[in-house]
Every structure is written in C-alpha cells, then in structure tokens.
Structure 1
Amino acid sequence: MDAVVRILRSHGFPIDPDETGFDSDQVIHTRGVNNGDIFVFPSGSLVAWSLPEDVVSDLATKTLLPAAINPHMDQMELEDLEYTEDPKRESSNIKGDVITLGTKSSVQREEHTSPRVDTTLAKIAFSSGLARSTKLAVLETMLGKYVESTRTIPTLLSRGTKLPFNRRFMLQKTGELLELRAQLNHYSELTDSLPDLFWDSRHELGLEGYYDQVGRALDVGVRIKALNEKMDYAQEIASILRQTMSEKHSIHLEWIIIILIAVEVGFELRREFKERRARLAKKKDEAS
C-alpha cells in the first residue's frame, strides 16, 4: 500500500482528499477525472466511482501494477454497479445493482465533518463490500481452474486406471489448494463480519450496515460457503492423489529392495559356485 501511495502521488493524485483519517494500510482514497472517487484496498481491489471504464482499466492494469504482489492479470474480475445520489435522504442503500447515496446533511453530524465526508465514508463502506466480492470472484475463478486441472482423476480412479501423474504434480496441486484456502480464510476482508477500518467509525453513519448490504446483494456469504465446500471436495481429491502417489512410491521402493536382494543372492550364488568349482578342481588334482 505504501507503493500505491508513492505511485499515485507521482502521477499527481491527491491522497485522502476529504481527510477521512483512514490508515493507508486499510484503504487509500484519491480522486481522478470528473472528481471521480478511487479507493484501493490491501486485497488488490480497486473501486472507482464516476470514472470512465478505460481510465479505471489503465489505472488498475498499468499505473498501479508495479505495487501489486503476485498479480493475476489473467484472472482479473470486474463488478459493475450503478449508483445515484439522493439529496433528500440521509441514509444510503443498495437494491439489486443500484446503490443510492443519501447526501442530505444529518442533524447528528459532528461539527468538524461535512456532508461530503459522510458521503465519502458511505462510499468507502460500499466499496469495501465490492472489493470483497471481486476478491472472492478471483478465488472462484482460480478454484475453477484448479478443479478443471484435476477433473480426470475421479474418472481414472473409477476405471481402475493407473494415474499418469508424478510426485511433482501432486506437490504442486497440494500447494495450490493450500494457497487458495489461505487466501479465502486467512484474509479478514473476506471472512470477517466487519473490516477493521470501520471499528472506530461513528455509529450513526451506519457504515457496517452498508457493508452488509453489499454482501447480501452480491451473495457473498453464500459464495464463501460454496467455495469452502468446493475446496473440501478438492481436498479429498488431493488426499487421494497423495495416498496414491505414496502407495506408488512405496511399491517402487519395495521393488528396489527386491532387486537389491536378488542381486545380492546372485552374487552369493556366484561366489558359492566359484568356491565349489575350486574345491572340485583341487580334489581332482589331488586324485591325479
């Protein structure tokens, strides 16, 4: 995230223009053309409001790419929602694919804040939910490719066919699955009910509710459960693959041991044969 700040500043983007006070390790806020808001999250997700799609694409795939760690350029996901601003409403919500931002000044608003700051905070809450969904979509795509790469294993096992895979393949697939599980279950922005950045927010803003609304609208909870179930199935396949590879390795070692014993027996028989022939030759010489 420090690299994101440096890159944005080098391109003339203001950092935290509304002084929301969020730590840059949690979210980075800036503005682009047409005063469009841009939010960057540690998961690698970028959420933009009121910006042309080509500008967002260039920002994500070119400008900020040097800051990415292990980027998946071939697995990028896009969530496209509409939003409107309603100056008659204090609160915001999401229905279907439309986000309605209430921009009316709240009587409970603190004196040192402004309606624009409150709107920005609402955008951050909605953006955090969208970032969570896109990160989940990336994992769904990665798991789909993983399952496809192991799709033939159950069929081969059901036919009693020997698996045409080596130990390296088994280790690679086990590592890929463990990495996917770690990305799904060990990253707080995916599994936590509320990200850390909202813990100190004012309750009257309802940021937690906005975050939850996005999760419900995009079926995030259901998708996380389904993804874990698919990973459980993939784990079973990986376990069977490891077991099969282990049995194959054990059989290989057993054959090596058998061959070594056979070689040892052969040398012993050869030695016995030579000694017997020597004894017979000696007796023959003594008899003559």
Structure 2
Amino acid sequence: MSMRRLLSVTASLARVVPAARTVSSRLSPAVRCLPLAARPSAVQTAIGRFGSAAPLSTSAAAAAARTEPPPPPASDSEGKKAIELDLSAVHSKRRVQRKRAVVKNDTETRQQPSAEEDMEVVAYSTAEEYNLESLMEGLREQNLYHPSAMSEDVHDVLHVAARYTLGAEPREIYLFREGTVVFWNVPELERRSVLEFIRQFQEGSYDQETVEEESDSMPYSYTEVFNKTRLVNGRILLNMEGSTDLEKYAFSNAMALSVKLGIWESALERYIDSIRFVTDELKKGGRISMKKEEVLKKNGELFGLRHLINLSSDCLDTPDFYWDKDNLESLYQKTCNHLNIAKRTRVMNEKLNHCVELADMLTTNLADQHHVRLEWMIIALIMVEVGFEVIHFLERYT
C-alpha cells in the first residue's frame, strides 16, 4: 500500500517538474510495460540519469508542496532516493546574481550636491585682444550690466554683473584683455547676444566656427561642506559664505587660458595642413614649389605662434597675481591640471619644434637654389668672356 502511495506522489511531481516530464518521455516502452510492483526501480534509475538535466524553480516546488500530501516516512529506501534525486534538481539551479548597488557614504554625498543644483560656467576666446576701456563705456551705455570692483592687483580684466536678475544666483561675466570671455550662470541666448555686442570692441577676430569648437564649460554649484571653495572631479564647488569674486576669477583665469590655448592648437593644425604637401613632394623626390616670399610668410606664422604660446601667455608659469595667495593659486593650478594645460603646451611645443625643422629645411633648400642660380650666372659670364677672347684672337691672327 505504501509503495502505491509513493508512486502516486512521484506521478504528481512528474506533472509539475519539467525534469520528470523529460524522464517520462525518455522511458522505454519495456519499462512502461513492467508490472506495478517493479516500476519504482525503473523510475529511480531514470530520475538518477536525467533528473538533474532540467532544474526546477523554487515557486513550482512550493506549489507542489502545497497541493500534494507530505511524503510517507522513509520506510522504503528506493522511494526516498528517488525523492532526494528530484529535490537535488531543485537545488542545482544557479542563482541569478544581482548588480550590487553603489552606496556612497555621507561625506561624499554632502560634498557633491545633486546635478539639479548645478549651474554652468562657459568660456570663449573670440579675438586676439579686447579694448577694455571702450568696452566698459559701451556696457555703461547699454545699461544692462554694471562693473564690479576687483582687487587692486588684478589687471587686464573687466568683471561685470547683470542688473536684472533671474534668480538667486547672479549672472556674471569676466572679460580678459587677451580676447577671452567667461560667463557664469548666463543662458545661451544671452551669451550669444553679449558675444555679438563685444565684436565691435575686439581686434583680430577669430573665425566663429573655431570659437564655438574651442569653447569650454564646467558645472558649478555651492556647498556648505568644510566652508571652502574647491574643485572636485571637474566640478566647481563654491563657498556659500562671503564673496566668491576672487575664487571665480581664479577659475575664470584658468579656463580663459585653456580656450586661448585651444585657439592656438587649431591654428597650429591649420598650419600643419598647409605645409603637408612639402613632405609629400619630398617623398616623391620632386622639386618643392614654394617661393621665397611664401617660405618667409610660413616662417613668420610659425614663430609668431611660438612667441604667443611661450612668451606672451601664462602657459609655462603661474601669473604673479597668485604669488602671495596660496588658496587662489591652488584653485588656479588644480583647474589648469584638470584642463591639461601643461600637457597640451608640451605637445604643442613638440609639434612646433618639428615645424621649425621643416621650415629650416625649406629655407636651406631655397638658399641652395639661389646659390646654384648664382653659379650658373657666373659660368655664363665666364663663357661670354671666353667667347669675346676667341673673337679677338681670331681677328688678330687672321
């Protein structure tokens, strides 16, 4: 009687467990034709051979446990082994690993405000130089921005703020004499309007497409942690207490230098493209088709760019303004490091050295061509002189 009950439990599990269905489909007709008393061993063998091939979900096992009566006591060893083999298929299913959530500690959360609070600082380099005095008068006549007082040792920069505010955060602009402008919390439409307005006060304007491509931006917000302005992962965190004009100036100074360096990088790339044909002609073994005036012009462009980068800018050193201001110097240096100004300057100088070598080769080639021309002229004069002497000789002795 107990054996028949065990078979009924096994048959019920076969309807629920996919492995038991596979077992039932793979049983040979000879086994199915066995008498009822001889079937448990055949079922046990089939389950032991194929039962682990199809795992059973935990929900199906729970449903089967609720609908069927509990198994009888372990009176029959063969029936117990069959049930244990079936349960082993349940536990053999591999657990799906969940992606671990990254939990930040409270300090990191306080140091970095949410992205919804971020504002934007954007820098452009539009010209070689701004006439700040005329620009100041123009802004006063426009009456949309008022100048803000800066430290006495800050030179060649104009700091203005919008008269009409759109929120708690003011809209500020830093204009540097070397032709760069930095906007703090200024919308794009207003930025374009200001750029169009200052066009009349700039000298040596750059191409508008290049200006847009070489612009730079960084997010910024305010923080109460440590009550200190700093740069964290490319994000400016300003102190909420006191004036932040000098801190903003330090960040603006570094960003202005970065966009100006970007303009020079673009100019160097155009210069390299303009002399690319020289190396192509040298590889073909042909004659370099450049006139002396063109070579001199290329040399002038090259040395002018080299002068701007190494002598007329602060790419190689720190401005004197930060000499006795350690906090501002730290902000300036960190921003420069974030923008890779030192590395970019080093790469540009390497490219410039290569271009200088190529320019020297062009100059030497032109000089050689001139020398060859002079030699042929001297040879021609000697041949003329020899011709006259031959004529005189013939006239004398004939």
Task: Give the CA deviation at 1:173.
Answer: 0.8
- The residue aligned with 2:238 is 101
Contact in 1 for aligned 2:154/2:321 (Cα 8 Å): no
Matched ranges for 1:68-217 at <5 A = 68-74=202-208, 75-76=210-211, 77-103=214-240, 105=241, 115=242, 117=243, 119-193=244-318, 195-199=319-323, 201=325, 203=326, 206-217=327-338
- The residue aligned with 2:356 is 235
- The residue aligned with 1:45 is 180
Instruction: Give the whole-Å Cα distance in 2 for the aligned partners of 1:209 and 1:91.
Output: 12
CA RMSD of aligned residues (A): 2.2
Q: 2:139 aligns with which of 8, 17, 37?
A: 8
Secondary structure of the corresponding residue to residue 208 of structure 1: helix
Instruction: Give the whole-Å Cα distance in 1 for the aligned partners of 2:387 and 2:187.
Output: 80
Matched, 1:226 2:347: yes
Contact in 2 for aligned 1:27/1:40 (Cα 8 Å): yes
Secondary structure of the corresponding residue to residue 101 of structure 1: strand
Q: Which amino acid in the other structure matches residue 336 of structure 2?
A: G
Matched, 1:54 2:175: no
Q: Which amino acid in the other structure matches residue 380 of structure 2?
A: I
Matched, 1:26 2:161: no
Task: Give the CA deviation at 1:65.
Answer: 2.2
Q: Structure 2 vs 1, CA of residues 230 and 64 (structure 1 numbering), >3 Å: closer, same or farther?
A: same
Matched, 1:252 2:373: yes
Q: Structure 2 vs 1, CA of residues 22 and 40 (structure 1 numbering), >3 Å: closer, same or farther?
A: farther
Instruction: Give the whole-Å Cα distance in 2 for the aligned partners of 1:268 and 1:88.
Output: 100
Contact in 2 for aligned 1:94/1:217 (Cα 8 Å): no
Instruction: Give the whole-Å Cα distance in 1 for the aligned partners of 2:141 and 2:385.
Output: 73
Secondary structure of the corresponding residue to residue 217 of structure 2: coil
Q: Structure 2 vs 1, CA of residues 267 and 138 (structure 1 numbering), >3 Å: closer, same or farther?
A: same
Cα deviation, 1:226-273, whole Å, max 9, x if unaligned, reads 111111111111111111111111112222222233333334434444
Instruction: Number of aligned residue pairs: give it.
Output: 259
Gapped runs of 5+ residues in structure 2?
Answer: 1-131
Cα deviation, 1:41-100, whole Å, max 9, x if unaligned, reads 12211000011123223323x222233232223532200221112244522222344222
Task: Give the CA deviation at 1:29.
Answer: 0.3
Higher alpha-carbon deviation: 121-130 or 64-73: 64-73
- Normalized against structure 1, the TM-score is what? 0.81
Secondary structure of the corresponding residue to residue 40 of structure 1: strand
Task: Give the CA deviation at 1:200.
Answer: 5.4
Task: Give the CA deviation at 1:123.
Answer: 0.6
- The residue aligned with 2:4 is none
Task: Give the CA deviation at 1:190.
Answer: 2.3
Q: Which amino acid in the other structure matches residue 138 of structure 2?
A: I
Gapped runs of 5+ residues in structure 1?
Answer: 106-114, 281-288
Give the % identical residues. Answer: 29
- Normalized against structure 2, the TM-score is what? 0.60
Higher relative contact order at CA 8 Å, sep ≥6: structure 1 or structure 2? 1
Q: Which amino acid in the other structure matches residue 180 of structure 1?
A: L
Instruction: Give the whole-Å Cα distance in 2 for the aligned partners of 1:173 and 1:46.
Output: 30
Secondary structure of the corresponding residue to residue 69 of structure 1: strand
Q: Which amino acid in the other structure matches residue 198 of structure 2?
A: L
Q: 1:65 aligns with which of 186, 199, 202?
A: 199
Larger strand share, 1 or 2: 2
